């Protein structure tokens, strides 16, 4: 069976990838798990949080994205990202300036996060069409001082920061600018391009964690907010009910999604953060985030049965959500330019 672009399906991860993991070491507290975007490694009185992510669907700001996306995963454990290394794969058409551009982007992003770039690898790769950057980020914390995406409990509130489809909106507004300009105002696209500036969730994740009220966190990436919620619920062994009218979405994301005929809830969503917190603590977490300038909203709750994956639509209909077959960014990038009026 030919695989689609994007994440490898869950059943292949569980049946194939997770069955080939080398030796078992006692230091590994949390290893490869569906819905958990990092590992927890205990080393004496310290604990390492490690995560790895590729940047494949973006062309502009690829180095900047590589640092931030990997750092986001570490921060969802409540831990600040400290070290970053990368593998840069370049097409045969690349020049020294290409390398310089990507490295400058990584440098700017790392300095903003107080993260050290500790090494990596760079090469020109045959038959590659676009650059690919694979990043690995590491954070260090005290023993047991972290959360994972596995801690959501029935009755917990589900909070979403910022809005949906942030990364996907920025990528499409940049890489498909001329195509979108045939139907959308230039001012809309320029605003959407600036969504790149909102892709880091490090600040809000650390703020939320420090309240002491967070039971789990997860940053929705490929598969959008829908994919992120399902991953978080699956990792925690719970179900969920979310309300469509409570999910924040910008007008830029709405218009660009309508242009390409895609679902903004299934559009790559780096830049937003999913937070699980006890019902009585929800207002405190929301207040801390909002007072720091981060918009956030309670969009639903976690349910006892893992089989319950409900979304209440605007008109009151209740639908079951399933894991997206692929991120809708890929569907948009495949389109030739035909679209409906926004």
pLDDT tens profile 200-215: 999 999 999 999 999 9
* Confidence at residue 6, expressed as pLDDT on a 0 to 100 scale: 80
pLDDT in tens, 229-260: 999 999 999 999 999 999 999 999 999 999 99
The dihedral built from the CA positions of residue 217, 219, 224 and 230, taken in this order, carries a sign that is negative
Q: Tally Cβ neighbours within 10 Å of residue 84.
A: 25
**338: pLDDT strictly greater than 80:** no
Rounded to a whole number of angstroms, the CA Rg of the chain reads 19
DSSP string, 91-160: -TT--HHHHHHHHHHHHHHHHHTT-EEEEEEEEE-TT--S-EEEEEEEEEEETT----TT---TT-EEEE
Domains of the chain: 10-142 (3.30.1330.10), 157-334 (3.90.650.10)
pLDDT tens, position by position, 30-86: 999 988 989 999 999 999 999 999 988 677 789 999 999 999 999 999 999 999 999
Please give the model's pTM, rounded to 2 decimal places: 0.93
pLDDT at 340 over 90: no
Which SS3 state, helix, strand or coil, does residue 75 take? helix
Spatial separation of the C-alpha atoms in residues 59 and 141, rounded to whole Å: 33
Return the pLDDT at 339.
42
Instruction: Find the mean pLDDT for residues 262-273.
Output: 97
Strands (E), the chain: 28-30, 39-43, 46-55, 81-90, 116-124, 132-142, 157-161, 214-218, 239-243, 274-277, 296-303, 309-312, 318-320
Query: Tokens at residue 77, please?
Result: 């454990």
In contact, 211 and 218? CB cutoff 8 Å = no
Whether the CB-CB separation of 319 and 310 falls below 8 Å is answered with yes
The DSSP code for 315 is: T
336 confidence band (pLDDT: 50, 70, 90): low
DSSP state, 270?
B
Instruction: Please state the separation of Cα 266 from the chain's center in Å.
Output: 12
CA–CA distance, 73 with 51 (Å, rounded to integer): 6
Tokens of 268: 């790559």
Mean per-residue pLDDT over the chain, rounded: 94
pLDDT in tens, 185-197: 999 999 999 999 9
Predicted confidence (pLDDT) per residue in 270-291, tens digit: 999 999 999 999 999 999 999 9
Is the per-residue pLDDT at 144 higher than 90? no
Cα angle for residues 166, 334, 130 (degrees, 5° grid): 80
Using CA atoms, how far residue 143 sits from 202, 264, 271, 318, in Å, is: 20, 38, 28, 42
What percent of the chain lies above the pLDDT cut of 70?
98
- Mean pLDDT confidence for 308-324: 96
- The owner of tokens 């069976």 is 1
- Per residue in 20-29, pLDDT (tens digit) is 999 999 999 9
Alpha carbon distance 99, 159 (integer Å): 39
User: Which 8-state DSSP code applies to residue 279?
Assistant: G
């Amino acid at each position: 069976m030919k695989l689609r672009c994007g994440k490898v399906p869950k059943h292949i991860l569980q049946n194939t990838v997770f069955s080939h993991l080398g030796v078992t070491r006692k230091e590994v507290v949390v290893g490869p798990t569906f819905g958990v975007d990092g590992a927890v490694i205990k080393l004496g009185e310290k604990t390492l949080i490690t995560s790895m992510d590729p940047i494949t669907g973006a062309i502009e700001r690829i180095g900047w994205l590589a640092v931030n996306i990997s750092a986001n995963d570490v921060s969802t454990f409540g831990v600040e990202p400290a070290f970053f290394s990368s593998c840069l794969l370049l097409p045969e058409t690349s020049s020294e300036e290409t390398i310089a551009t990507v490295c400058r982007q990584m440098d700017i992003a790392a300095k903003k996060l107080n993260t050290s770039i500790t090494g990596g690898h760079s090469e020109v790769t045959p038959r590659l069409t676009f650059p690919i950057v694979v990043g690995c980020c590491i954070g260090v914390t005290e023993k047991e001082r972290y959360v994972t995406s596995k801690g959501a409990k029935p009755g917990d509130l589900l909070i979403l920061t910022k809005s949906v489809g942030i990364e996907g909106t920025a990528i499409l507004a940049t890489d498909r600018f001329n195509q979108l300009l045939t139907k959308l105002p230039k001012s809309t696209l320029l605003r959407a391009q600036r969504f790149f500036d909102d892709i880091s969730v490090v600040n809000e994740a650390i703020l939320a964690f420090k309240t002491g009220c967070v039971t789990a966190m997860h940053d929705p990436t490929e598969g959008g907010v829908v994919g992120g919620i399902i991953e978080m619920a699956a990792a925690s062994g719970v179900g969920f009910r979310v309300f469509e009218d409570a999910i924040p979405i910008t007008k830029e994301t709405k218009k660009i999604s309508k242009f390409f005929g895609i679902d903004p809830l299934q559009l790559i969503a780096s830049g937003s953060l999913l937070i699980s917190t006890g019902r009585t603590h929800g207002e405190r977490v929301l207040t801390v985030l909002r007072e720091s300038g981060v918009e956030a909203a309670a969009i639903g709750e976690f349910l006892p049965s893992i089989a319950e994956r409900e979304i209440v639509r605007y008109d009151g209909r209740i639908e079951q959500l399933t894991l997206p077959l692929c991120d809708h960014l890929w569907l948009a990038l495949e389109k030739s330019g035909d679209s409906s009026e926004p």
